[in-house]
Structure formats: structure tokens, C-alpha cells
Amino acid sequence: MSTPRRRTRQREAVAALLQERTDFRTAQQIHADLREAGAGVGLTTVYRTLAVMAEAGEVDMLLGEDGEARYRACSAGHHHHLVCRSCGFTVEVTAAPVERWARRMAEQHGFTDVAHTVEVVGLCPACSRRGALPTGPA
């Protein structure tokens, strides 16, 4: 059923860029990064490639507070993120207590086929130190 995936220059480029980045980036940013790096990839292709990779579980996708999708290559397996709202610095964390809580909550209310999202945003050590602001005034 699933279409065979072809190995192309564009997909390699996106994957490679994602490898060296440790923060969550939007499709638009990735598109700009690639252009800047010389390896131009169409915006449409960036979107499609990210969708395919997300589908395959090769990247994690999360929606920012502004509704924009952000992507990042992550380790396999279920985990959550601690994200700096100023610089995008990300730490992967596991959350056993949360998993248990979610499962129990679902059972308690008769919900089935549950999934959960947990994101913790704040200021990373570096940004806290320099008194960074979410969307700094002037």
C-alpha cells in the first residue's frame, strides 16, 4: 500500500539539516536555511518532505503557540520536550508520571484510543540569565 520512498537530493538535504540542528524549526525556516546553504529546495518540497518524515516517525512535529508547525529530528521512542521560548533550545525528557496519570485519567472517564501531548516551555538557563523576553518589546 505505502508508496516506495525514493532517495533524492532534496530529501537528503532536509534530513541532513535536521541532523545538525538541535532546535525546533518551522518549514519556512528550514526552507531558508537550505537556500542559504546553497542546496536550494522548493518550499513545497520542504513541506512534503517534512510531512513524510513526520509520518514515518523520523521527526517530531509540534505546534507553536502561534499555530505554526515546528520540526526536529528526535531520538526514537515516546518522549516529550522542554523548549526555550526565546531561543528554541530543546531538551528531550521522559515522563513516566505523566504517562501513568494520562492512562489512569482515560480509564477513569471511559475514554479509549487516547493520546496525549505534553509540552513544557520556559526560558533556558542561558536566556534566563540575559533576561530574554518571549517577544521582546523593542
Q: Which residues bind DNA (CB under 7 A)?
A: 3-11, 26-28, 40-45, 47-49, 51, 67-69
Q: Which does 4 bind (CB under 5 to 8 A by kind): DNA, its own copies, none?
A: DNA
* Range 32-71, binding its own copies (CB under 8 A): 63, 65, 67-69
132 burial type by CB count under 10 A (0-12 exposed, 13-18 middle, 19+ buried): middle
- Tell me the CA distances in angstroms from 133 to 38, 82, 116, 122, one per residue in order: 32, 17, 29, 10
In the shown chain, the binding pattern of residues 92 to 131 toward its own copies, with x for contact by CB under 8 A and - for none, equals -x-x-xx-xxx--xx--xxxxxxxxxxxxxxxxx--x---
Closer to its own copies by Cβ: residue 12 or 79: 79
Closer to DNA by Cβ: residue 28 or 94: 28
Closer to DNA by Cβ: residue 44 or 94: 44
Q: Which does 41 bind (CB under 5 to 8 A by kind): DNA, its own copies, none?
A: DNA
HEC string of 41-92 equals: CCHHHHHHHHHHHHHCCCEEEEECCCCCEEEEECCCCCCEEEEECCCCEEEE
